Amino acid sequence: DGGITQSPKYLFRKEGQNVTLSCEQNLNHDAMYWYRQDPGQGLRLIYYSQIVNDFQKGDIAEGYSVSREKKESFPLTVTSAQKNPTAFYLCASSTRQGNYGYTFGSGTRLTVV
């Protein structure tokens, strides 16, 4: 079955450490996205990629980095420069046009300890 997989589901990080969140899709979608969601709030766009080897900053890219070396994969690194990284992170994918909406992964809950 086609889908989008995020791992791990829960992640704990010490302050000052970088951590990478995985996102893999087998839907043959060109576009992939990373969103952050804080308690009681909507989704804020971190980075997005419409094609392999290309990505764009979203609204809150500071302290984050991404790569898109393969169509299926769009990992997100939360760096030590991100001041408040504790949040729920959602990865999504879509056709390049995006007009069929997004398919979301199940999310990764990151907690800084």
Partner 1 sequence: GQNIDQPTEMTATEGAIVQINCTYQTSGFNGLFWYQQHAGEAPTFLSYNVLDGLEEKGRFSSFLSRSKGYSYLLLKELQMKDSASYLCAVYSSASKIIFGSGTRLSIRP
Query: Which residues bind to partner 1, rule: CB under 8 A?
Result: 31, 35, 40-43, 45, 48, 50, 88, 90, 94, 96-102, 104-107, 109
The type of residue at 5 is: T
43 neighbors 35 (Cβ within 8 angstroms) = yes
Residue 13 or residue 109: which is nearer to partner 1 going by CB? 109
Residue 18 or residue 57: which is nearer to partner 1 going by CB? 57
Torsion of CA 51, 55, 59, 60, to 10 degrees: 130
Residue 84 or residue 97: which is nearer to partner 1 going by CB? 97
Min dist CB 80 to partner 1, Å, is 26
Min dist CB 74 to partner 1, Å, is 13
Q: Which of 29, 109, 105, 34 has the alpha carbon at shortest distance from 74?
A: 34
Q: How far apart are CA 89 and CA 43, in angstroms?
A: 9
Min dist CB 30 to partner 1, Å, is 8
